[in-house]
Amino acid sequence: MNKRATIEDVARIAGVSTATVSRAIHTPEIVSDSTREAVNGAIEQTGYTLNLAARNLRQQRANATVVLVPDIGNTFFSEILVGIERVASAAGHTILIGHTAKDPVREEKYLNTLVNGQADGALLLNGHLPDVVIERIKNAAGGGFPIVSVSEALDDQIVPHVGIDNVRAAAMATQYLLDHGHRHILHLRGPGDNILTHQRMAGFEQAMRAAGLATNPDTFLDGDFTIESGVTAAHQVTRDPTKPTAVFCANDEMAIGLMSELAIRGIEVPTDVSVIGFDDIAFAKTARPGLTTIRQPRAEFGECAMRRLLDLINGKESGFPFINVLEATIVERGSVATR
Ligand code: RIB
């Protein structure tokens, strides 16, 4: 049987040191093109593959990150994962996906990978930490575990966070409708147990108040961030005797459900009712009419959060306190008309 090629074989053939081979593999951006090409050629020639298990044992690291995702079916999260994976794989990190389905038992199970050494750090896309982990972080000198929250902040922000200013972005969406002459605007909100729901409601109310418009319980439609809840809301919009002219939806999935059911009921968007969403998921562009919405920079969320996490894992920063607020922008399509 052929002997397995070693890093020394690659270094000898490429004419560089083993440290340079390692840099060319793990941090290719810091070596020159010619060195990278020489190392890649030598890798190909020798058939060298990394012995990851040996490396991890040597480093006493898993070189893996666990990502807790509340709903892998929502495309909002997949683009965040793309950004996370991009940075993680460039750093030689593997990603473990923990689909939590908002179940605390699953959350605890996946966070256990930090305790049993299967993962070095965690990215939270679910806005929640089990009490036992919170206690451990609060009591541990140096912060306990390397954890960064993304998009949904924790109620008690005890770990670093990456996201947008949701209050501001929701006010911007509402202002857009106001600027287009709408005065009777409803807000289709998210689930009551989600921090984003309250932040986006606050932004909506802030913009309405600033325009001298009062809100009351009838101004709000109940949703849960799913397409189905957008469909249900369409029934309420069509039955509303006060004839709202616009709806600000707390996410795109609900906006798309709302628009398609309004179309079925013969209500035209934007001529009869204008709709604005939040997120800019891929389907916002292909919806008919195209959905005007707030774009959240999701790949950037993932990249920024993963970079922060790697710094924490590598002891490059204390990790607290810091919040990275990224920019949300309006994407204008065809679902809002001027009154
Ligand atoms: O949980 C889903 C929602 O949370 C997304 O649609 C997005 O708005 C996110 O912030």
Which of 68, 71, 72, 74 to probe ligand 1 with, by most ligand atoms within 8 A of CB? Answer: 74
Which of 78, 150, 279 to probe ligand 1 with, by most ligand atoms within 8 A of CB? Answer: 279
Is the previous residue joined to 146 through a cis bond, with omega within 30 degrees of 0? Answer: no
Is the pLDDT at 154 greater than 80? The verdict is yes
Whether residue 107 has its Cβ less than 6 Å from ligand 1: no
Report the pLDDT value the prediction gives residue 1, as an integer from 0 to 100: 44
Report the pLDDT value the prediction gives residue 58, as an integer from 0 to 100: 67
Q: What is the mean pLDDT of the segment spanning 181-206?
A: 97
- Ligand 1 centroid vs 142 CA: distance in angstroms? 31
Q: Which residue has the tokens 């009154």?
A: 339
Query: Residue 262's closest CA among 247, 252, 241?
Result: 247
Query: Residue 178's closest CA among 220, 213, 152, 138?
Result: 213
Provide the percentage of residues in the chain whose pLDDT is more than 70.
94
- Ligand 1 centroid vs 18 CA: distance in angstroms? 45
Q: Strand, helix or coil at 148?
A: strand
Report the pLDDT value the prediction gives residue 141, as an integer from 0 to 100: 58
Q: What is the mean pLDDT of the segment spanning 145-170?
A: 93
pLDDT (tens digit, 9 = 90+) per residue, 46-59? Answer: 888 877 666 666 66
Whether residue 145 has its Cβ less than 6 Å from ligand 1: no
Task: State residue 240 phi and psi, 5-degree precision.
Answer: -65, 115
Query: Residue 82's closest CA among 169, 150, 160, 166?
Result: 150
Ligand 1, atom nearest to 250 Cα: 8
- Ligand 1 centroid vs 335 CA: distance in angstroms? 20
Ligand 1, atom nearest to 279 Cα: 8
- Ligand 1 centroid vs 130 CA: distance in angstroms? 20
Which of 76, 166, 195 to probe ligand 1 with, by most ligand atoms within 8 A of CB? Answer: 76
Task: State residue 281 phi and psi, 5-degree precision.
Answer: -70, 165
Across all residues in the chain, what is the average pLDDT? 91
Whether residue 224 has its Cβ less than 6 Å from ligand 1: no
Calculate the CA dihedral of residues 151, 154, 158, 164 and round it to 10 degrees.
Answer: 30
CB–CB of 291/251 below 8 Å?
no
Partners of residue 244 on adjacent β-strands: none
Taking the whole predicted model, whether its pTM rises above 0.85 is answered as no
The residue whose C-alpha atom lies closest to atom 2 belonging to ligand 1 is 225
- Provide the greatest CA pair distance for the chain: 81
Report the pLDDT value the prediction gives residue 140, as an integer from 0 to 100: 66
Report the pLDDT value the prediction gives residue 102, as an integer from 0 to 100: 85
The torsion region of residue 336 among left (phi > 0), alpha (psi -120 to 50) and beta comes to: beta
Whether residue 278 has its Cβ less than 6 Å from ligand 1: yes
Could you say which DSSP state residue 258 is in? H
The residue whose C-alpha atom lies closest to atom 6 belonging to ligand 1 is 251
Spatial separation of the C-alpha atoms in residues 77 and 22, rounded to whole Å: 32
Looking only at the bridges linking them, the beta strands covering 293-295 and 329-331 are: antiparallel
Spatial separation of the C-alpha atoms in residues 295 and 169, rounded to whole Å: 9
Q: Name which of 55-59, 111-115, 161-165, 192-196 the model is least confident about.
A: 55-59
Report the pLDDT value the prediction gives residue 38, as an integer from 0 to 100: 94
Query: Residue 246's closest CA among 157, 181, 163, 170?
Result: 181
pLDDT (tens digit, 9 = 90+) per residue, 234-279? Answer: 999 999 999 999 999 999 999 999 999 999 999 999 999 999 999 9
Q: What is the mean pLDDT of the segment spanning 331-339?
A: 97
Provide the percentage of residues in the chain whose pLDDT is more than 90.
72
Higher pLDDT, 15 or 158: 15
Whether residue 151 has its Cβ less than 6 Å from ligand 1: yes
Spatial separation of the C-alpha atoms in residues 44 and 27, rounded to whole Å: 18
pLDDT (tens digit, 9 = 90+) per residue, 93-108? Answer: 999 999 998 898 999 9
Q: Strand, helix or coil at 227?
A: helix
Which of 78, 278, 280 to probe ligand 1 with, by most ligand atoms within 8 A of CB? Answer: 278
